[in-house]
């Protein structure tokens, strides 16, 4: 543990985390990865998505997680690099069995398929539709509107700060702090407007990768490895659905995190306090709902 702490401190001090991350992405795209490495990277990707969405929920206001647009970019690049690496492994070694691409992909594929490939494909398509049409599209629209209205309101907010300063309601330091907050808010929503395009593009890429893995895998298994069409479809369908799902779950979590963050209103309370205080504040509504259920 002490060694890991010392290593992390040294990485922060030397500021090599970002170059190391970019070089790792390049290596994932260019070099073949072992199945155990894919398992570790996919697990890390899922855990990272969970951390992001929990941070978004616990943030009291959007600026508390102002690095979120950059996090979206980094996680999207990581997910795309993982898609390239896993696609290479699936197409090259899919004929060897369902465990050829790692136990994580195999486990996700078995859970979703459940012995019926048609059901597995339908469930995966439903998840993609939810992510692409509902969550991603909605958060993208909210980001666009928020960025536009924030920029439109920027001159008025600056004038209000100057008026309070001239009236003596705030001092110079408080005025500078409020100006920085206003500028940071405009920058955040502007960055979120662009980051939402990455999320939508990643959802489209997931659909194309699914088709490539399915069609290309069955063709490779039947033509190059002398598998019957049924065996090739069984193996490559499981690997394709598992590969797509293990990438789609983090994508859905990040899309939900983006939607939660851009729909938040700047307030001192956290997400749970706002929902509990406003949704459950009126006893009459609760009594009426209970009466309807009875």
Domain boundaries, the chain: 32-270
For residue range 30-50, list pLDDT tens digits in order.
Answer: 888 888 888 888 889 999 999
SS3 letters across 71-84: HHHHHHHHHHHHHH
Element containing residue 205 per DSSP (H, E) = helix 172-223
Residues 6 or more apart in contact with residue 29 via CB below 8 angstroms: 81, 84, 85
What pLDDT score was predicted for residue 51?
A: 92
Maximal C-alpha separation, the chain: 84
What pLDDT score was predicted for residue 98?
A: 65
What pLDDT score was predicted for residue 50?
A: 92
Closest C-alpha among 52, 87, 84, 17 to residue 195: 52
**Eight-state DSSP code of residue 263:** T
Closest C-alpha among 86, 106, 103, 88 to residue 235: 106
What pLDDT score was predicted for residue 47?
A: 92
Q: How confident is the model at residue 6 (pLDDT cuts 50, 70, 90)?
A: low
Q: How many helices (H) and strands (E) does the chain have?
A: 11, 0
For residue range 117-142, list pLDDT tens digits in order.
Answer: 777 778 878 887 887 777 777 777 77
For residue range 60-93, list pLDDT tens digits in order.
Answer: 777 788 888 888 888 888 888 888 888 888 888 7
């Amino acid at each position: 543990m002490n060694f890991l702490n010392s290593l992390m401190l040294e990485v922060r001090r030397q500021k090599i985390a970002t170059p190391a991350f970019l070089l790792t992405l390049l290596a994932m795209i260019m070099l073949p990865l072992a199945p155990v490495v894919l398992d570790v990277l996919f697990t890390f990707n899922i855990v990272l998505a969970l951390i992001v969405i929990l941070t978004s929920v616990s943030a009291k206001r959007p600026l508390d997680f102002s690095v979120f647009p950059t996090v979206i970019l980094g996680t999207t690049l990581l997910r795309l690099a993982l898609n390239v690496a896993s696609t290479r492994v699936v197409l090259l070694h899919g004929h060897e069995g369902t465990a050829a691409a790692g136990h994580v992909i195999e486990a996700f594929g078995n859970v979703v398929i459940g012995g019926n490939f048609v059901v597995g494909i339908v469930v995966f398509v439903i998840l993609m539709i939810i992510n692409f049409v509902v969550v991603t599209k909605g958060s993208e629209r909210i980001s666009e509107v928020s960025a536009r209205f924030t920029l439109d309101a920027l001159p008025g907010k600056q004038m209000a700060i100057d008026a309070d300063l001239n009236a003596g309601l705030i001092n110079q330091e408080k005025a500078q702090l409020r100006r920085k907050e206003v500028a940071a808010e405009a920058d955040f929503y502007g960055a979120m407007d662009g980051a939402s395009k990455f999320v939508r593009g990643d959802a489209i890429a997931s659909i194309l990768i699914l088709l490539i893995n399915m069609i290309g895998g069955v063709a490779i298994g039947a033509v190059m490895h002398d598998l019957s069409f049924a065996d090739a479809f069984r193996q490559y369908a499981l690997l394709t659905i598992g590969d797509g799902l293990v990438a789609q779950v983090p994508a859905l979590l990040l899309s939900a995190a983006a939607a939660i963050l851009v729909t938040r209103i700047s307030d001192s309370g956290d997400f749970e306090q706002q929902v509990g205080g406003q949704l459950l504040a009126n006893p009459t509504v609760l009594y009426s709902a209970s009466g309807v259920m009875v």
